[in-house]
Structure 1
Amino acid sequence: MSRQTIIIIAVVFFLLVLGIVGIYYLQTNKTTTPGTSGSRFDFFPFGQGPNIFSSDTSSTQGSSTTEETSFSSVQKLRQLTSVPVAGFLPLKDSQEYQVLYMERATGHVYSVSVSSGEAKRISNTTIPKVQSALWLPGGSGAVLQYLDTDEESIVTFSGAIATGTTERELAGTFLPRNILSVTLSPGGTLAYVLENGEGGDVTTSQPNGAKKTLLFSSPLKEWLVSWPATSTIMLSSKPSGETPGFLYFINTTSKTLTSVLGNVPGLTAIANRSLSRVVFAESGYGGISLKNLNTKTKEIAALPLNTLPLEKCAWSTLSDTVLFCAVPAEIPEGTYPDLWYQGSVSFVDNLWKIELDSGNSTLLGILSDQSNTTIDVVDPSISPDDRYVFFKNKNDGTLWSLELGSE
């Protein structure tokens, strides 16, 4: 082969390689425009989010723009812990926002600054494998639950945090065994469902167990209690999409039982402080439907978004007709809330503000975009001025905060 032929072949090969590199460069660096490609926000406006499920029958929420749905560009999302927490309490003093929380693994109590993320241990009393913790007003103590060594019996402990400036002891008393559901009133009175043979008793007491009052006895024991108003307890059947659910108000003074909702499959619900509204989810195999009950007019209206209100919504501290909800970007077909409780389905949540009077809904945060992780919100709580929403990530139990606005 002549020298000239070799040179020609080499030149052709060089030009071919150069052309391939040029095409690759143009394809990987071409300009994107909103709605065609680019960030996940462009692909999924209004919290539609990526589809992490293989089912084609899942419902997508918030993907259409209407006059009733708007977007608020915010916010500051912060992971406050790297370990699972059993319960938490937002607090604000004259200087800054703090959150008290209890580590699930140890039962130790910490206070974390929302602005700096710096955590300080308050109590070093060790209680392993705490499953849940409810806080007394002001964070003076907590009611916590864990499984006994037999992994079956439920232990409930009510403890007060000793005063002082150094690490303090969490000391208190044990409440009756096998309390199935427990809650605290706005003033710190305890209410719980205690297994009673084949049924369950709804009882109130002081946090240390004193001054017990039996309010209601039922042949059923699968009840959940919450305490939305000063003298009213809300009692609801444990939800399943395969059984009808029932909801009652119990007046703690007269012990009167009032029926609020009945025969609602998969019923989960929350009531506002004035008891004028109950937001509830009706569910079954097809998915979840979120609705608003006006307890005065008895009218029920469908809400524009669907979620599990008991687990994923919290009322505004400034208005009892406004609530903040974590809403799944997509909900695959299935029986709810069963699949979610069992861990068979995990949601990718976005945070929304829902105004019941107007029916308007506003997207406050696309959590996966701001966190670079999948967040399945549980137990949201709002700061006293509606500036922050705090919540746990069901996937790993960690504590998070999202700033909604400035002071």
Structure 2
Amino acid sequence: MSHLVLRHLSKCFHRQGIPALKDLSLTVAAGEIFALLGPSGCGKSTTLNLIAGLLEPDPVPYPGEIWLDGILLNPLPPERRGVTLLSQYSRLFPHMSVGENVAFGLKMRRIPKAEREAQALRMLERVQLAGFAHRRPAQLSGGQAQRVALARALVIQPKLLLLDEPLSALDANLRQEMQNLILDLQAESGVTTVLVTHDQAEATAMAQRIGLMFEGQLHQVGSPAEFYQQPASERIARFFGGVNFFDAQADHHELWVGEGIRLFYGAVPQQGKVRLTIRPEQIQVFSHPPTFPHNVCRAEVISERFTGTQRRLTVQTALGLLQAWVAPHQGFGVGQVVWIHLPPEALWCVEGSRSVPILPLAV
């Protein structure tokens, strides 16, 4: 079981003069699925390539280190690191059969032919491709090719599995199937996995923890629930779909908004000017005044959109425009007067955009 520690990794591509990674430190626990999430160009794939040994970290401002199971990987070539990298493109060998592709890594490890063929067949069964061993890559669909690539990556039993946008080239239904397959195989093997994605929903569905990156730096590390409910900054909240923000004056658990509007706040007591957010799905909407003693506002429906699983309302309130996502059976018309409830435990104070240092565990 692996234990990955990254210390002070930096990488600048000198031709462009752009720092791709800035002093990144991170720890991934043994057996964990960890997602590196962020927009294109934020340094996610660069981090994976450094771990895999395809790139070398810059020696300044600090000599970056990559540790796996207490072993420093920096001096080791890619083939000796116990790390497998799977990208969004399957990159199967077109001149080999599916079975030969899966067994290729075993062949490089000098596993006897009969044994490697048997292991390849077992792995193809695990990725639901039994009977495909003699086909050529050109005869596979995109989803089937990615399953073969996954089988090839796992059959060698790596200490660490790196997934670089492995599902982005697939359609929505195939992505869901592959997510489930990867989760099932990871649970069976226990291999430590680092997933790179720009898709918040994918990171949330697959990872126990997420590291969100902007401009080559980690800005927050935590569970999916923490990103949705306790974002460290407004920028992070917006990246995770936050749309409701307003200013208030805080006095412990009381919040004063605008001209004498008082709200109660359920999280850590605050003092002074604060920036608040609330998830649109956490706002409750009623056609008649509810009986809640606090945090109830009169509102008018400005727009309504049906999405299948939700009705997305925009409402005008004394706090400003807010979005509220309600169940599809809750029908509210444009111009209708409604009452909204902002649960105190659902309100959250966000800080200005900042980078949060993530210290690695000792090796």
Give yes or no for TM over 0.5: no
Query: RCO higher in 1 or 2 (8 Å CA, sep ≥ 6)?
Result: 2
TM-score (norm 2): 0.26
Name the structure where helix makes up a greater proportion of residues.
2
TM-score (norm 1): 0.24
Q: Bigger radius of gyration, 1 or 2? A: 1
